[in-house]
Amino acid sequence: MLPGSIIARRSFLQAPLIAGLLLAPSLAGADGLRCVVELFTSQGCSSCPPADALLGRMARDASVLAVSFPVDYWDYIGWKDTLASPAFTARQKNYSLARGDGQVYTPQVVIDGLKHAVGSDADEINEVIAALGKRQGPLSVDMRVSEAADKIRIDVGAAAPGGPKAGGLWLLRIAKAVTVAIGRGENAGRTVTYTNVVRAISKIGEWNGAATSFEIPAGRTKGEDSNAYALVLQAGTSAAPGAILAAAKGADL
């Protein structure tokens, strides 16, 4: 058992890396996105590099929003993850509580905010994507983003029939690629490139199921540690995250 009452298991499944991830057919969102994949990873996890590489290939698919959330609960074994945040660990734990299964491990992907899979297992990930494509809710709300020099406008559509009617709009500041030379721990001596690394996640506003528009300063989307962004409309709360109802990539992503 780890600090904070997080029960973690580490998957040592080393699935063969494939040349590219073939996404199973699924419903496309308004901007062509078919799914959102969040990888919870750690520089201190020997099983994670294959999942990090797989996510890098997935990110090249325009129909996928693929992001990395580095977590900090393996820091105690000899290497402090240079990209990790306690907020990302909390997000992973809250997903497990919302699902009710308590499964918190690395490498783990959460797809469309609803289902998890082993982050290095392309077949399992494809199966989850295909199953979620048949459900109401995920990526069922229209969202359009207009970028200008000084502001960004986000137009969110109305809730889909039978879908969730409340949620929050979230901004993810992202570093598109970060290469880390790992000096100690289970990956000592390895150099790993992490793709679409979330550096911060912040709430833009609430959505009540009706068509709504939001505006934010363009400068809010980038920082010294980030050069891209994504937007996610998600049912539930930060403490109990639910289905991702809409998502969009910034122009630089």
pLDDT 10s digits, 188-200: 999 999 999 999 9
Q: What span, in angstroms and rounded, lies between the C-alpha atoms of 129 and 87?
A: 26
Supply φ then ψ for residue 118, to 5 degrees. -70, 130
Tell me 88's DSSP state.
Answer: H
The tokens describing 248, both together, are 């969009």
- Residue pLDDT, tens place only, 45-79: 999 999 999 999 999 999 999 999 999 999 999 99
Neighbours of 21 (CB within 10 A): 22
3-state helix, strand, coil in the chain (%, to 5): 20, 40, 40
- What total number of domains does the chain contain? 1
Structural domain of residue 151, as residue ranges?
Answer: 3-249
In this structure, the number of other CB atoms found within 10 A of the CB of residue 155 comes to 14
Over residues 135-167, the pLDDT tens digits come to 878 999 999 999 998 999 999 999 999 999 999
Under the banding of pLDDT at 50, 70 and 90, the label for residue 32 is confident
Beta carbons of 14 and 8 less than 8 angstroms apart: no
Burial 183-203 (b: 16+ CB within 10 A, else e): eebbbeeeebebbbbbbebee
Nearest C-alpha neighbor of 153 from the set 231, 206, 67: 231
Considering only CA atoms, which of 29, 4, 36 is closest in space to residue 198? 36
Q: Is the pLDDT of residue 25 over 90?
A: no
pLDDT of residue 31: 55
Token pair belonging to 92: 């992973």
Share of the chain above pLDDT 70, in %: 88
Which of helix, strand or coil describes residue 10? strand
Element (H, E) at 174: strand 167-181
pTM: predicted TM-score of the whole model, two decimal places: 0.89
Q: Over the stretch 181-237, which tens digit does the pLDDT of each residue have?
A: 999 999 999 999 999 999 999 999 999 999 999 999 999 999 999 999 999 999 999
Does 23 score more than 60 pLDDT? no
Average pLDDT, the chain: 89
Residue 131: burial class (beta carbons within 10 Å; 0-12, 13-18, 19+) = middle
pLDDT at 29 (0 to 100): 41
